Structure 1
């Protein structure tokens, strides 16, 4: 695959082997969830309720950012990344490690990108909704409440700064 990667992107390192491993792992995770749903005999909804879609959407946003950017989860990313700088609001910017294998690099890209992780998180939460709906809704509710709280904290901070600026003028 390295030869293909060099032809694909001759002027830039692209970890195609790592991407293949990630795609394989995602396919395996999806297959395990599908097999578990089949074996459990639980019915798969024809259409999820819109309330579940909204709940899982916000929970997916929060869990993806938590894994990809939160300072507390940096030990999970450390084997694949290097700390770069704070990113504000308890988040970090990290750089993917270039040394080592393309698999390590590919995983680093995946776990530092909340947009990339969202597919994995949404798939896991959706599978959880079929396999263990009560527990999944409970966990998703906590993540959703945290996401809403984050936005309220940021709105409060912005409003406070604006009020302080107006008070100084």
Structure 2
């Protein structure tokens, strides 16, 4: 066991000699993702739910927008910051109800890796898309309903931003 730990420590040092990279934490995250994905696949098999040969384009587009919104909500929204707080530290607001956070450097590679995951909408998107795709197979009506709500919120966000820009222009504060 000591020999293995030494090998892992050497690998970590040679991989990123000038920066801390939580390789062990990344392994835990990848293992967890593989376990969740395998569990979803097993659940699909056990329940006998049919897996579409080719998903409908409308479902793909719906899940694209829903994945974007849910990933962003989980990773950046001020209201969801209590979920990230054990792994991140607040740094500043970044507008539209979102916050910027830094990963806590606690010495635990797993905690650090989770902090990177939960504060990065791009990183979370893989997990969210997997969950929504599994939901589309296991409970398609409910998943489509939730994805539709997330898509409506995304459209609303863009309309709110466009309205704010139009309002600034109308008041003479924007560029023409």
Q: CA contact under 8 A between 1:2 and 1:17: conserved in structure 2?
A: no
> Deviation at 1:165?
1.9
Consecutive unaligned residues of structure 2, counting only runs of 5 or more, are 1-7
> Deviation at 1:41?
0.4
Alignment match, 1:99: 106
Consecutive unaligned residues of structure 1, counting only runs of 5 or more, are none
Determine which of 12, 33, 56 is the counterpart of 1:5. Answer: 12
Alignment match, 1:77: 84
Alignment match, 1:46: 53
Residue correspondence of structure 1 range 7-156 to structure 2 within 5 A? 7-156=14-163
CA distance in 2, matches of 1:166, 1:110: 38
**Could you say if the C-alpha distance between residues 2 and 155 of structure 1 is closer, same or farther in structure 2, counting changes exceeding 3 Å?**
farther
Q: CA contact under 8 A between 1:82 and 1:97: conserved in structure 2?
A: yes
CA distance in 2, matches of 1:84, 1:39: 45
In the TM superposition, structure 1's runs of 4+ consecutive aligned residues that sit over 2 Å from their partners are none
User: Do residues 162 (structure 1) and 169 (structure 2) align?
Assistant: yes
Question: TM-score with structure 2 length normalisation?
Answer: 0.92
Matched residues, number: 168
